[in-house]
């Protein structure tokens, strides 16, 4: 069973930075889609960034975070990261890590909903 545990959320002022981490356990395949999502109060959940473990150059970002957020993977430690810079109040949300291991894996790993989710970590950005 795949398990995800997020950490690194917190409160920061506008313009600040945070790094989220997602520890992934319980899978053995090299083929897995991984992503970060967020949901603000009263809004639908949205994909923030995704990465394909088979090809770490296959990365996608939501337009709202391009140039500010960076998704990366530590394969040795099975940790997914989201470095968030130049944070804005509108980035305030619950952030979730999600993955699509086999049989859900689909090469390319787009900005769509994945099947296995973590519990989330809160990010609050004040102006």
48-76 pLDDT, tens per residue?
999 998 887 899 999 999 999 999 999 88
Burial class (CB in 10 A: 0-12, 13-18, 19+), 45: middle
The whole-number pLDDT of residue 31 equals 86
Average pLDDT rounded to a whole number, residues 101-115: 89
Q: For residue 102, how many other CB atoms are within 10 A of its CB?
A: 11
Query: Each residue of 26-35: pLDDT tens digit?
Result: 987 778 899 9
Which tokens in the block code for residue 53? 């473990």
């Amino acid at each position: 069973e795949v398990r995800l545990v997020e950490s690194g959320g917190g409160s920061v002022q506008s313009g600040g930075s945070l790094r989220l981490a997602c520890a992934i356990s319980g899978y053995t395949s090299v083929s897995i889609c991984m992503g970060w999502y967020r949901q603000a109060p009263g809004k639908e959940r949205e994909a923030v960034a995704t990465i394909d473990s088979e090809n770490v150059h296959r990365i996608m970002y939501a337009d709202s975070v391009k140039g500010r957020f960076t998704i990366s993977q530590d394969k040795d430690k099975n940790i997914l990261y989201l470095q968030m810079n130049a944070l804005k109040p509108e980035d305030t949300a619950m952030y979730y890590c999600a993955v699509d291991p086999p049989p859900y894996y689909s090469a390319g790993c787009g900005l769509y909903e994945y099947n296995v989710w973590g519990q989330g970590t809160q990010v609050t950005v004040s102006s």
